[in-house]
Amino acid sequence: MKQNLQVNQENTSQEVKEYVPSQIEMWKFYWQFIKIDWYILIGLNCQWLIESVLHTRAPFLLLNIKDQLLNIDTQNYDLFFWLIVEFVATHIILQFFSFIQVKVTNRTSKMVQQNIQKQIVDHLFTLDIHYFEENKATSLHQIILQGSEQIGKEIQYGRIFQKINQFIYFASRAYFIYIQNVFIFISIAVVAFICVLLQQYFTKEKKKIEKINSKICEFESFALDEILNNMMLIKTYCKEEKEKKNLEKIMQKNRDSRQKTLIYQQIISMIQSCSHEMMKIAVICHAFYYYLHNTTQHQGNLNNQNNFQQQILSRNLGEIISNTYCILFLVRDFIQIINKSTDDFYENRKKHIGKVMNLFKVKSSISQEKVYESQNGEILEGEITFDNVCFSYPARENKLTQDYKMIQDQRVADQTNISNLIASKEINSNSLQTYGVLNKLSFKVNPGECVGFVGASGCGKSTIVKLIERYYDTSQGAIIINGKNIKDVSLQALRQNIGLVHQEPQFFDNDIEYNVTYSLEGNYTQEQLNKVLEISGVNEFILDKNRFPLGLKTLIGNKGVKLSTGQKQRIAIARALIIEPKILILDEATSALDAESECSFQKYIEKIKSYEKMTIIIITHRLSTIFNCDKIFVLQSGTIIEQGTHQILLQKNSIYANLVKCQLKQNNQDQNLSLAHKDSVETNDSLF
């Protein structure tokens, strides 16, 4: 059982790593996206078949025309005329096909891309919430857009046929040269092979450096980000010079690495141009050999030597031109095909596809059938029991931060070769430590009770909420709601019965009404809405016609930027209440409310407690919010160390009582401060 859970945790905590799949892996993966559209497939097949035949025939046709031209006086003109017509028609058809191809390719590419995007998004929706906690929205965004685009490009029909066509095109040219002069073909193949080998070697070396380079670039931007984000801290501790020096060192390494890449790039392009030149020379040498050979062979047999030599010369010159043309094409294609599998563009494409492949490897810890299983609409009573619950977060691996830390460590040790560091720094994920956040935590909340959780920062209060919502599963022990282990309740039923307000709630870039009634999808009455607006205190600000002339229809902007933190929290509270939950969880939900609003909120809690049987869990640092709770749990290092009502806990005169004293002292200090401030302002005023 424990092992199973561990496996699940490993699966669900997988980060979106950089992974370059092999071509075979990619093709296996593509298979699940390939949707065969028979009409397009048959149409394209026919088109490419004809196109391939035409491509194969075109050079022979040109040769025939040339032969006819050389013997124009003896040959019939009709044949010559029809050859010209065939030649022109062939090229018109090929142009037309290339036009069609662009259209079909674009269309299929779009279709395939949309289909893939949908499948990626569908898969994302099946993942557990904590996957989104652990992965940045921007990187997921990138995977959806760029990943689908790259897969789309690879498996669109156009591309598949392009590849087949390229092969046929290549084979037809190779055959053409072979029957013209086999030695040309062999020598070109040898030259091309050597050049390509050299090129590949240097490309690999260049890539190694580029890899290091891109890492250093990342470090550089990361270091820069760190400095910009912590400028206040740096200035507070006067560490400007230290940070400047650190940044300069990273920048210098970046410059050195770039320089090396540049040298390799120059060598590669030199080989490229050299290979072309060498091939041209090989072609010309062979052509001259061929010419001289033919001339001596025919010299003794012909009477009209001058005339024949002219013919041979023109014939051979024609062949030289057409052969050179074909060979250059062949070699260019050959080099391009080999290069394509190694160049950066293809490597990047593979990386994008690798990210999507990785994403599909991540599976939810909860079976998808269980999410929306038949208990849909089931009403849970608000009884919650934690029975010896242990929990630790799956180890999180923030690779960039670790790499950056290692760079800093290395800097301290003053080891200069950054490449060695990167190569030697294979992070062993097994070595990452996990630690217990909740340790044998047990408590019981009865239906309709209002309980408060208090404790020092980091003691595990919010973690309890995450477990109740089943963002994570417990490592040991059980959480029982309604007499059932929450692992046996469908996720939908569980979450439909819980109204949760986070400290930093999320919002859609829409109006207030949309955000408040989001969960009800339009199925609510005005009365319902008014009730929650009143209770949560949203009415207090939206009825202010000067600031909110559109009232509920006021747009709140991206992530609710147009609202204050307090206003956002009130909207979030209204949103949680409108589903009439059996359990209401307020995780630091009133931290941004002013004292007055908080007071009215407490009155509201009293109100719902009296007529709706709702279990309320309040997690807070403001102890005044939980004075009236039926039960207060004091947490320390993931276990409950005290519990009881406010009065009982005060009488105990232990940890809770100390917390209350500390907070009262703090409040008094704040009050004195504000009074002192008020006095000083008044004194200053009187001075004037």
Ligand X SMILES: Nc1ncnc2c1ncn2[C@@H]1O[C@H](COP(=O)(O)OP(=O)(O)OP(=O)(O)O)[C@@H](O)[C@H]1O
Q: What residue ranges bind ligand X (CB under 6 A)?
A: 133, 393, 396, 437, 455, 457-463
Question: What type of residue is 53?
Answer: V
Of 10 and 612, nearer to ligand X (C-beta) is: 10
Residue 481 in 3-state DSSP? strand
| Residue 683, CA distances (Å) to 665, 670, 680, 686 in order | 26, 20, 5, 5
Of 219 and 633, nearer to ligand X (C-beta) is: 633
Q: What are phi and psi of 250, to 5 degrees?
A: -65, -40
Nearest distance from C-beta of residue 149 to ligand X, angstroms: 31
Is residue 357 within 8 A of residue 25, CB to CB? The reply is yes
CA distance 633 to 452: 6
Question: What type of residue is 433?
Answer: Q
Nearest distance from C-beta of residue 17 to ligand X, angstroms: 18
Other CB atoms within a 10 A radius of the CB of residue 76 amount to: 8
Of 479 and 552, nearer to ligand X (C-beta) is: 479
Residue 528 CA to its chain's centroid (Å): 40
- Count of alpha carbons within 13 Å of 438, Cβ hemisphere only? 29
Q: State the DSSP string of 621-671.
A: S-GGGGTT-SEEEEEETTEEEEEE-HHHHHHHTSHHHHHHHHHHHHHHHHH
Nearest distance from C-beta of residue 619 to ligand X, angstroms: 7
Is residue 48 within 8 A of residue 165, CB to CB? The reply is yes
Nearest distance from C-beta of residue 452 to ligand X, angstroms: 13
CA distance 486 to 237: 49
Residue 38 in 3-state DSSP? helix
Nearest distance from C-beta of residue 625 to ligand X, angstroms: 13
Is residue 212 within 8 A of residue 206, CB to CB? The reply is no
Of 365 and 463, nearer to ligand X (C-beta) is: 463
Nearest distance from C-beta of residue 336 to ligand X, angstroms: 48
Is residue 299 within 8 A of residue 305, CB to CB? The reply is yes
Nearest distance from C-beta of residue 503 to ligand X, angstroms: 7
Of 435 and 688, nearer to ligand X (C-beta) is: 435
Mention every residue, 6+ apart, whose C-beta is less than 8 A from residue 457.
621
Of 382 and 455, nearer to ligand X (C-beta) is: 455
Of 182 and 662, nearer to ligand X (C-beta) is: 662
Q: Which candidate, 472, 465, 497, places its Cα nearest to that of 487?
A: 472
Of 196 and 468, nearer to ligand X (C-beta) is: 468
Bridge-based pairing of strands 476-481 and 438-445 is: unpaired
Of 135 and 180, nearer to ligand X (C-beta) is: 135
CA distance 285 to 279: 10
Nearest distance from C-beta of residue 431 to ligand X, angstroms: 16
DSSP structure class, residue 560? G
Nearest distance from C-beta of residue 472 to ligand X, angstroms: 8
Which tokens go with 509? 């870039």
Q: Which candidate, 8, 7, 3, 4, places its Cα nearest to that of 470?
A: 8
Of 129 and 657, nearer to ligand X (C-beta) is: 129
Mention every residue, 6+ apart, whose C-beta is less than 8 A from residue 357.
19, 21, 25, 26, 29
Is residue 383 within 8 A of residue 482, CB to CB? The reply is yes
Of 339 and 439, nearer to ligand X (C-beta) is: 439
Which tokens go with 350? 């593979």
Is residue 587 within 8 A of residue 619, CB to CB? The reply is yes
CA distance 653 to 241: 50
- Count of alpha carbons within 13 Å of 278, Cβ hemisphere only? 17
Of 332 and 502, nearer to ligand X (C-beta) is: 502
CA distance 234 to 359: 38
Nearest distance from C-beta of residue 491 to ligand X, angstroms: 19
Which tokens go with 673? 């401060």
Of 458 and 557, nearer to ligand X (C-beta) is: 458
Which tokens go with 326? 């074909």
Bridge-based pairing of strands 384-391 and 476-481 is: antiparallel
Radius of gyration of the chain (CA): 37
Of 16 and 356, nearer to ligand X (C-beta) is: 16
Nearest distance from C-beta of residue 589 to ligand X, angstroms: 12
